[in-house]
Amino acid sequence: MLKGSIPAIITPFRKGEVDYDDFSKLLNWQIKNGISGVTVCGTTGESPTLTHDEHMKLIEYAIKIVKKRVPVIAGTGSNSTQEAIEFTKHAFKAGADYGLAVTPYYNKPNQQGLINHFKIIAKSTPLKQIIYNIPGRSIVDLSLDSFKELNKISNIVAIKDASNDISRPLLMRTFMKKDFNYLSGEDGTIAGFLAQGGHGCITVAGNVAPKLTSELHKSWNQKQWKKFDKINLQLAPLSKVLFQEPNPTPTKYALSLMGFCTEEVRAPLIA
Protein backbone atom coordinates (compact mmCIF):
# COMPACT_ATOMS: atom_id res chain seq x y z
CA MET A 1 0.00 0.00 0.00
CA LEU A 2 1.00 3.61 -0.51
CA LYS A 3 1.69 5.32 2.80
CA GLY A 4 3.55 8.30 4.15
CA SER A 5 4.97 11.36 2.42
CA ILE A 6 4.88 11.25 -1.39
CA PRO A 7 6.15 14.53 -2.87
CA ALA A 8 4.56 15.84 -6.04
CA ILE A 9 7.91 16.77 -7.58
CA ILE A 10 8.50 20.06 -9.36
CA THR A 11 9.85 20.08 -12.91
CA PRO A 12 13.10 22.11 -12.97
CA PHE A 13 13.56 24.46 -15.92
CA ARG A 14 16.63 26.33 -17.13
CA LYS A 15 16.35 28.83 -19.97
CA GLY A 16 13.01 27.39 -20.98
CA GLU A 17 14.10 23.75 -21.12
CA VAL A 18 13.66 20.89 -18.67
CA ASP A 19 16.81 20.58 -16.54
CA TYR A 20 17.31 16.84 -16.15
CA ASP A 21 20.46 17.24 -14.07
CA ASP A 22 18.58 19.24 -11.44
CA PHE A 23 15.69 16.78 -11.67
CA SER A 24 18.03 13.88 -10.94
CA LYS A 25 19.67 15.73 -8.05
CA LEU A 26 16.30 16.53 -6.54
CA LEU A 27 14.99 12.97 -6.85
CA ASN A 28 18.06 11.46 -5.21
CA TRP A 29 17.92 13.98 -2.35
CA GLN A 30 14.26 13.21 -1.80
CA ILE A 31 14.85 9.45 -1.59
CA LYS A 32 17.86 9.93 0.71
CA ASN A 33 15.58 11.85 3.08
CA GLY A 34 13.04 9.07 3.49
CA ILE A 35 10.13 9.75 1.12
CA SER A 36 7.67 6.92 0.54
CA GLY A 37 7.13 7.54 -3.16
CA VAL A 38 7.37 10.22 -5.83
CA THR A 39 4.79 11.78 -8.14
CA VAL A 40 6.04 13.04 -11.50
CA CYS A 41 4.23 15.32 -13.99
CA GLY A 42 1.45 16.33 -11.64
CA THR A 43 0.11 19.84 -11.14
CA THR A 44 3.16 20.79 -9.04
CA GLY A 45 5.27 19.48 -11.92
CA GLU A 46 3.55 22.04 -14.22
CA SER A 47 2.11 19.28 -16.39
CA PRO A 48 -0.29 21.66 -18.19
CA THR A 49 2.70 23.44 -19.77
CA LEU A 50 4.78 20.38 -20.64
CA THR A 51 4.82 19.10 -24.21
CA HIS A 52 3.82 15.47 -24.67
CA ASP A 53 7.45 14.57 -25.40
CA GLU A 54 8.66 16.33 -22.25
CA HIS A 55 5.93 14.69 -20.17
CA MET A 56 6.82 11.19 -21.34
CA LYS A 57 10.58 11.73 -21.12
CA LEU A 58 10.29 13.01 -17.53
CA ILE A 59 8.39 9.90 -16.48
CA GLU A 60 10.92 7.62 -18.21
CA TYR A 61 13.81 9.55 -16.66
CA ALA A 62 12.31 9.43 -13.15
CA ILE A 63 11.83 5.66 -13.39
CA LYS A 64 15.47 5.32 -14.49
CA ILE A 65 16.81 7.48 -11.65
CA VAL A 66 14.57 6.05 -8.91
CA LYS A 67 15.52 2.44 -9.78
CA LYS A 68 12.64 0.91 -7.78
CA ARG A 69 13.84 2.50 -4.52
CA VAL A 70 10.37 3.97 -4.04
CA PRO A 71 7.15 3.75 -6.10
CA VAL A 72 6.84 6.15 -9.04
CA ILE A 73 3.41 7.70 -9.59
CA ALA A 74 3.09 9.05 -13.11
CA GLY A 75 0.76 11.93 -13.82
CA THR A 76 -1.46 10.58 -16.60
CA GLY A 77 -4.51 12.81 -16.42
CA SER A 78 -6.12 15.07 -18.99
CA ASN A 79 -9.49 16.62 -19.69
CA SER A 80 -9.39 14.56 -22.89
CA THR A 81 -10.13 10.92 -22.12
CA GLN A 82 -8.19 9.76 -25.18
CA GLU A 83 -5.14 11.79 -24.21
CA ALA A 84 -5.30 10.37 -20.67
CA ILE A 85 -5.38 6.87 -22.16
CA GLU A 86 -2.27 7.62 -24.22
CA PHE A 87 -0.40 8.90 -21.16
CA THR A 88 -1.55 5.86 -19.15
CA LYS A 89 -0.40 3.40 -21.79
CA HIS A 90 2.96 5.13 -21.94
CA ALA A 91 3.37 5.12 -18.14
CA PHE A 92 2.56 1.40 -18.01
CA LYS A 93 5.03 0.60 -20.78
CA ALA A 94 7.72 2.78 -19.15
CA GLY A 95 7.40 0.90 -15.86
CA ALA A 96 5.59 3.33 -13.58
CA ASP A 97 4.02 1.83 -10.47
CA TYR A 98 0.82 3.93 -10.58
CA GLY A 99 -1.00 6.36 -12.84
CA LEU A 100 -2.55 9.52 -11.38
CA ALA A 101 -5.61 10.69 -13.33
CA VAL A 102 -7.20 14.02 -12.44
CA THR A 103 -10.90 14.78 -12.69
CA PRO A 104 -11.42 16.37 -16.15
CA TYR A 105 -11.08 20.14 -15.92
CA TYR A 106 -12.88 22.74 -18.07
CA ASN A 107 -15.26 20.25 -19.76
CA LYS A 108 -17.38 20.05 -16.57
CA PRO A 109 -18.73 16.51 -17.12
CA ASN A 110 -21.60 15.27 -14.98
CA GLN A 111 -21.16 12.35 -12.57
CA GLN A 112 -21.85 9.70 -15.21
CA GLY A 113 -19.31 11.37 -17.47
CA LEU A 114 -16.74 11.24 -14.66
CA ILE A 115 -17.47 7.56 -14.03
CA ASN A 116 -17.09 6.73 -17.72
CA HIS A 117 -13.86 8.73 -17.97
CA PHE A 118 -12.13 6.82 -15.16
CA LYS A 119 -13.55 3.44 -16.19
CA ILE A 120 -12.23 3.79 -19.73
CA ILE A 121 -8.77 4.87 -18.52
CA ALA A 122 -8.56 2.02 -15.99
CA LYS A 123 -9.51 -0.56 -18.60
CA SER A 124 -6.87 0.67 -21.07
CA THR A 125 -3.98 -1.02 -19.17
CA PRO A 126 -3.39 -3.07 -15.99
CA LEU A 127 -1.59 -0.06 -14.44
CA LYS A 128 -2.80 0.69 -10.91
CA GLN A 129 -4.87 3.86 -10.94
CA ILE A 130 -5.09 6.74 -8.48
CA ILE A 131 -8.01 9.12 -8.96
CA TYR A 132 -7.14 12.74 -8.29
CA ASN A 133 -10.14 14.70 -7.02
CA ILE A 134 -9.44 18.43 -6.87
CA PRO A 135 -12.61 20.52 -7.21
CA GLY A 136 -10.75 23.81 -6.72
CA ARG A 137 -8.84 23.38 -9.98
CA SER A 138 -11.14 21.18 -12.06
CA ILE A 139 -14.55 22.65 -10.99
CA VAL A 140 -15.99 19.12 -10.81
CA ASP A 141 -16.21 16.98 -7.69
CA LEU A 142 -16.41 13.19 -7.78
CA SER A 143 -19.29 12.22 -5.52
CA LEU A 144 -19.28 9.35 -3.03
CA ASP A 145 -21.95 7.56 -5.07
CA SER A 146 -19.77 7.84 -8.18
CA PHE A 147 -16.83 6.46 -6.34
CA LYS A 148 -18.89 3.51 -5.10
CA GLU A 149 -19.27 2.60 -8.76
CA LEU A 150 -15.57 3.13 -9.54
CA ASN A 151 -14.56 1.14 -6.48
CA LYS A 152 -15.69 -1.98 -8.37
CA ILE A 153 -12.82 -1.55 -10.86
CA SER A 154 -9.97 -3.78 -9.68
CA ASN A 155 -7.04 -1.55 -10.70
CA ILE A 156 -8.50 1.65 -9.25
CA VAL A 157 -6.65 1.37 -5.96
CA ALA A 158 -6.37 4.87 -4.47
CA ILE A 159 -7.61 8.43 -4.41
CA LYS A 160 -5.69 11.66 -3.95
CA ASP A 161 -8.27 13.93 -2.38
CA ALA A 162 -7.64 17.68 -2.47
CA SER A 163 -11.20 18.63 -1.58
CA ASN A 164 -10.20 19.79 1.94
CA ASP A 165 -13.13 17.72 3.27
CA ILE A 166 -11.68 15.60 6.05
CA SER A 167 -14.95 13.73 6.53
CA ARG A 168 -14.44 11.88 3.26
CA PRO A 169 -11.93 9.22 4.37
CA LEU A 170 -14.31 8.10 7.11
CA LEU A 171 -17.30 7.95 4.79
CA MET A 172 -15.37 6.14 2.08
CA ARG A 173 -14.15 3.52 4.54
CA THR A 174 -17.76 2.32 4.77
CA PHE A 175 -17.55 0.89 1.25
CA MET A 176 -14.06 1.06 -0.23
CA LYS A 177 -11.89 -2.00 -0.86
CA LYS A 178 -9.93 -3.32 2.11
CA ASP A 179 -6.52 -2.48 0.62
CA PHE A 180 -7.63 0.85 -0.89
CA ASN A 181 -5.32 3.85 -0.38
CA TYR A 182 -6.75 7.15 0.76
CA LEU A 183 -4.24 9.98 0.24
CA SER A 184 -4.59 13.62 1.15
CA GLY A 185 -3.77 16.11 -1.58
CA GLU A 186 -3.45 19.08 0.79
CA ASP A 187 -0.62 19.35 3.34
CA GLY A 188 -2.79 21.25 5.79
CA THR A 189 -5.27 18.35 6.10
CA ILE A 190 -2.79 15.55 6.84
CA ALA A 191 -3.62 15.16 10.53
CA GLY A 192 -7.36 15.09 9.88
CA PHE A 193 -7.05 12.59 7.04
CA LEU A 194 -4.83 10.24 9.04
CA ALA A 195 -7.17 10.44 12.02
CA GLN A 196 -10.14 9.51 9.79
CA GLY A 197 -8.38 6.49 8.31
CA GLY A 198 -6.22 7.95 5.55
CA HIS A 199 -2.79 6.55 4.68
CA GLY A 200 -0.58 9.40 3.53
CA CYS A 201 -0.22 12.57 1.48
CA ILE A 202 0.86 13.50 -2.02
CA THR A 203 2.60 16.57 -0.72
CA VAL A 204 3.87 19.91 -1.97
CA ALA A 205 5.78 20.74 1.23
CA GLY A 206 7.70 17.48 0.81
CA ASN A 207 9.59 19.10 -2.08
CA VAL A 208 11.24 21.49 0.36
CA ALA A 209 11.23 19.44 3.57
CA PRO A 210 11.28 15.74 2.61
CA LYS A 211 12.87 14.57 5.84
CA LEU A 212 10.45 16.47 8.05
CA THR A 213 7.35 15.39 6.12
CA SER A 214 8.57 11.79 6.15
CA GLU A 215 9.19 11.95 9.91
CA LEU A 216 5.68 13.34 10.36
CA HIS A 217 4.12 10.19 8.91
CA LYS A 218 6.62 7.91 10.60
CA SER A 219 5.75 9.38 14.00
CA TRP A 220 2.03 8.87 13.29
CA ASN A 221 2.54 5.23 12.31
CA GLN A 222 4.62 4.66 15.45
CA LYS A 223 1.97 6.35 17.61
CA GLN A 224 4.41 9.00 18.77
CA TRP A 225 1.70 11.62 19.16
CA LYS A 226 3.77 14.37 20.80
CA LYS A 227 6.42 14.12 18.11
CA PHE A 228 3.75 14.15 15.42
CA ASP A 229 2.18 17.27 16.87
CA LYS A 230 5.54 19.02 17.14
CA ILE A 231 6.45 18.31 13.51
CA ASN A 232 2.97 19.20 12.30
CA LEU A 233 3.28 22.59 14.01
CA GLN A 234 6.71 23.10 12.43
CA LEU A 235 5.34 22.38 8.96
CA ALA A 236 2.20 24.52 9.25
CA PRO A 237 3.86 27.88 8.34
CA LEU A 238 5.70 26.25 5.43
CA SER A 239 2.51 24.74 4.03
CA LYS A 240 0.83 28.14 4.24
CA VAL A 241 3.62 30.11 2.56
CA LEU A 242 3.98 27.62 -0.29
CA PHE A 243 0.47 28.57 -1.43
CA GLN A 244 0.79 32.35 -1.03
CA GLU A 245 1.32 32.44 -4.80
CA PRO A 246 0.21 29.90 -7.41
CA ASN A 247 1.82 26.48 -6.92
CA PRO A 248 4.66 25.68 -7.63
CA THR A 249 6.07 29.22 -7.80
CA PRO A 250 6.90 29.52 -4.05
CA THR A 251 8.23 25.95 -3.94
CA LYS A 252 10.61 26.57 -6.82
CA TYR A 253 11.79 29.80 -5.22
CA ALA A 254 12.50 27.96 -1.95
CA LEU A 255 14.36 25.18 -3.78
CA SER A 256 16.38 27.76 -5.72
CA LEU A 257 17.54 29.26 -2.41
CA MET A 258 18.53 25.72 -1.35
CA GLY A 259 20.58 25.25 -4.53
CA PHE A 260 18.46 22.56 -6.17
CA CYS A 261 17.14 24.39 -9.23
CA THR A 262 16.31 27.77 -10.72
CA GLU A 263 13.13 29.54 -9.68
CA GLU A 264 11.97 29.44 -13.32
CA VAL A 265 8.33 28.56 -14.04
CA ARG A 266 6.50 28.49 -17.36
CA ALA A 267 3.93 31.02 -18.48
CA PRO A 268 1.22 31.77 -17.57
CA LEU A 269 2.90 31.46 -14.15
CA ILE A 270 5.57 34.05 -13.34
CA ALA A 271 8.50 33.85 -10.94
Per-residue model confidence as pLDDT tens digits over 121-133 = 999 999 999 999 9
Handedness of CA 38, 155, 130, 235 (dihedral sign): negative
DSSP symbol at 47: G
Per-residue model confidence as pLDDT tens digits over 219-239 = 999 999 999 999 999 999 999
Handedness of CA 152, 156, 160, 163 (dihedral sign): negative
Q: Report, as an integer, the average pLDDT of 201-230.
A: 98
Q: For position 251, what pLDDT does the model report?
A: 98
Catalytic residue among 98, 128, 132, 218: 132
Q: For position 250, what pLDDT does the model report?
A: 98
DSSP symbol at 245: S
By DSSP bridging, strand 17-18 and strand 13-14 are antiparallel
Q: Report, as an integer, the average pLDDT of 167-179.
A: 91
H/E segment holding residue 30: helix 20-32
Judge whether residue 1 has pLDDT over 90: no
Per-residue model confidence as pLDDT tens digits over 13-47 = 999 999 999 999 999 999 999 999 999 999 999 99
Mean per-residue pLDDT over the chain, rounded? 96
Residue 152 among the catalytic residues: no
Q: For position 178, what pLDDT does the model report?
A: 86
Q: Report, as an integer, the average pLDDT of 126-146.
A: 95
The pLDDT-based confidence of 140 (bands split at 50, 70, 90) is very high
Left, alpha or beta for 42 (phi > 0: left; psi -120 to 50: alpha)? beta
Q: For position 10, what pLDDT does the model report?
A: 98
Q: Report, as an integer, the average pLDDT of 141-164.
A: 95
Domain locations in the chain? 4-257
Q: Report, as an integer, the average pLDDT of 101-119.
A: 97
CATH class of the structural domain 4-257: alpha beta
Read off the amino acid at residue 156.
Answer: I
Taking alpha carbons only, the member of 178, 154, 152, 247 closest to residue 206 is 247
Catalytic residue among 3, 160, 218, 252: 160
> CA angle, 133 as apex, 130 and 135 as ends, to 5°?
165
Q: Report, as an integer, the average pLDDT of 204-218.
A: 98
**Euclidean distance between the first and final Cα of the chain, in Å?**
37
Residue 108 among the catalytic residues: no
φ/ψ of 94, rounded to 5, equals: -75, -20
